[in-house]
């Protein structure tokens, strides 16, 4: 079927809340390129929202998944376990920067990982309170929606959220929120809403994803670690979007040297296969009773096989170094745009996790969400999949596969540059 026929089916059968606004349907893909049902080519700077750090259909990942398909597709690992599950748990425990001896559990999605991390923290502490940060995104299940610090489009239609969830401001110096402001707000929270002795965990993305690619500094993460240690609170690092080589380290929190009690991961863990994990200090992970964690499809053997291949590829193909170099290349180009265009500001990155903001002008730095959406739309018209994000909706983020071909990368960057140039020129003419 072509795009038009598929769109008709979508309108008729796919729930509006789950339907994509995009009208092109992916047919096949390779590394950082996708072809739709009509044969049109797209460059992919979205990577399935950070799922494809090794690109579409990395040969070694595909080979591993196919090999497992010839063995076992499903037994439910709680009914009859299989080698890829325990082998992957071993590998993840060896590389995850959680404190002390570590244990792991596997589930299907980032939201499931966060849900289970909360369950583990509550079991380990005997407490119920959870503290997150404004702009944080942790999933679309009810508990993770309560933790997510953004109403539209995620929370608006779904009524009361689960209780004992609180938030503090995430430090964003560019927008006038200092680390001291965030820490003061957290300490105030302990006095006004949730006492430390009732707080099970503080959850933070070392680099916010949907919130705008804002980076938690080493000193801020060290302060959170100290607060958690003082009060017996679990520190949970949400690495769902920023993990698995996106920042030039396997996990973003490694840049700080801080060791959390629990780390959640998903997305690029299996490079496109549905899989997530919770890894933490062994005694913390063992706090809940038998059969209290997991699920029917949790840690599917095909997904586990893909993830084991991902870990091999990251090491064999020097993906961490490639991510760091990609980040340097991207921010250099963004910096050129910042000098050239009045609307480009706040260029930032941690390794290959890069972003910049679009503003009305450099004097006021007023976020320009309308221009941002226009750039994303024009890029799509020109064959580039591009994503926005941010608390103010004015951030252009880049989650292009780390393995992207140099010529494809340059072509995609050229499309963004041309889109900004055309839209700002037409805007100037309209107001001139």
What is residue 425's predicted lDDT score, i.e. its pLDDT?
85
Which of residues 362 and 430 earns the better pLDDT score? 362
What is residue 428's predicted lDDT score, i.e. its pLDDT?
61
pLDDT at 193 over 90: yes
What is residue 198's predicted lDDT score, i.e. its pLDDT?
98
Cα separations in angstroms, 313 against 28, 59, 119, 147, 317: 22, 10, 32, 33, 6
pLDDT band (50, 70, 90) for residue 47: very high
Of the candidates 276, 299, 289, 298, the residue with the CA atom closest to the CA atom of residue 120: 289
- Which of 109-123, 154-168, 235-249 has the least mean pLDDT? 154-168
Per-residue model confidence as pLDDT tens digits over 273-295:
999 999 999 999 999 999 999 99
Q: How much is the average pLDDT of 59-77?
A: 98
Whole-prediction pTM value?
A: 0.96
Concatenated DSSP letters of 81-102: --HHHHHHHHHHHHH---SSSE
Contacts of 424 (CB under 8 A, 6+ apart): 341, 342, 343, 371
What is residue 1's predicted lDDT score, i.e. its pLDDT?
95
What is residue 156's predicted lDDT score, i.e. its pLDDT?
85
Ramachandran region, residue 16 (left: φ > 0; alpha: ψ -120 to 50; beta: rest) = alpha
pLDDT at 203 over 80: yes
Q: How much is the average pLDDT of 40-53?
A: 98
What is residue 104's predicted lDDT score, i.e. its pLDDT?
98
Q: Which domains does the chain have, with CATH numbers?
A: 3-57+318-431 (3.90.1150.10), 72-316 (3.40.640.10)
SS3 percent helix, strand, coil of the chain, rounded to 5, is: 40, 20, 40
pLDDT band (50, 70, 90) for residue 429: low
pLDDT band (50, 70, 90) for residue 304: very high
What is residue 159's predicted lDDT score, i.e. its pLDDT?
87
pLDDT at 99 over 80: yes
**Residues 66, 67, 71, 73, Cα dihedral to 10°:** -30
pLDDT at 233 over 90: yes
What is residue 309's predicted lDDT score, i.e. its pLDDT?
98
What is residue 430's predicted lDDT score, i.e. its pLDDT?
62
Concatenated DSSP letters of 242-302: TTTTTTSSSSGGGGTT---SEEEE-GGGTTTS--EEEEEEHHHHT-SPTT-S--TTTT-HH
Q: In percent, how much of the chain has pLDDT > 70?
A: 98
Handedness of CA 308, 42, 328, 253 (dihedral sign): negative
What is the distance between the alpha carbons of residues 262 and 238, in angstroms, rounded to a whole number? 9
Average predicted confidence (pLDDT) for the chain:
96
What is residue 155's predicted lDDT score, i.e. its pLDDT?
85
pLDDT band (50, 70, 90) for residue 432: low
Q: Identify whether the C-beta of residue 85 lies closer than 8 Å to the C-beta of residue 299.
A: yes
């Amino acid at each position: 079927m072509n795009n038009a026929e598929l769109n008709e089916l979508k309108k008729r059968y796919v729930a509006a809340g789950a339907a994509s606004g995009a009208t092109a349907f992916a047919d096949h893909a390779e590394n950082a390129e996708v072809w739709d049902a009509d044969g049109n080519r797209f460059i992919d700077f979205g990577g399935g929202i950070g799922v494809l750090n090794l690109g579409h259909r990395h040969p070694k990942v595909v080979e591993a998944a196919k090999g497992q398909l010839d063995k076992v597709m499903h037994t439910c690992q709680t009914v009859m376990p299989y080698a890829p599950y325990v082998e992957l748990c071993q590998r993840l425990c060896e590389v995850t920067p959680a404190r002390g001896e570590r244990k792991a559990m596997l589930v299907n999605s980032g939201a499931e990982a966060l849900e289970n991390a909360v369950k583990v923290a509550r079991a380990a502490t005997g407490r119920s309170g959870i503290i997150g940060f404004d702009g944080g995104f942790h999933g679309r299940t009810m508990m993770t929606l309560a933790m997510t610090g953004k109403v539209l489009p995620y929370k608006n239609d779904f009524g009361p959220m689960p209780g004992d969830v609180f938030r503090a401001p995430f430090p964003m110096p560019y927008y006038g929120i200092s680390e001291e402001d965030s820490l003061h707000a957290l300490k105030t929270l302990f006095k006004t809403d949730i006492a430390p002795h009732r707080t099970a965990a503080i959850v933070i993305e070392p680099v916010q994803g949907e919130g705008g690619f804002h980076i938690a500094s080493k000193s801020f993460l060290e302060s959170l670690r100290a607060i958690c240690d003082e009060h017996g609170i679990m520190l949970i690092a949400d690495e769902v979007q920023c993990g698995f080589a996106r920042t030039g380290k396997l996990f973003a929190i490694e840049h700080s040297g801080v060791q959390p009690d629990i780390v959640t991961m998903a997305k690029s863990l299996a490079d496109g296969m549905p899989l997530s994990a919770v890894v933490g200090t062994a005694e913390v992970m063992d706090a809940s009773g038998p059969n209290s964690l997991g699920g029917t499809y949790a840690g599917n053997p095909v997904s586990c096989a893909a993830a084991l291949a991902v870990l091999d590829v990251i090491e064999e193909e020097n993906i961490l170094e490639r991510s760091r170099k990609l980040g340097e290349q991207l921010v250099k180009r963004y910096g050129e745009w910042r000098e050239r265009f009045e609307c480009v500001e706040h260029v930032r990155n941690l390794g290959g996790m890069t972003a910049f903001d679009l503003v009305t002008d450099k004097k006021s730095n007023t976020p320009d969400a309308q221009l941002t959406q226009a750039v994303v739309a024009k890029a799509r018209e020109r064959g580039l999949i591009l994503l926005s994000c941010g608390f103010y909706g004015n951030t252009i983020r880049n989650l292009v596969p780390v393995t992207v071909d140099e010529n494809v990368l340059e072509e995609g960057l050229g499309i963004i540059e041309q889109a900004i140039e055309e839209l700002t020129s037409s805007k100037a003419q309209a107001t001139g």
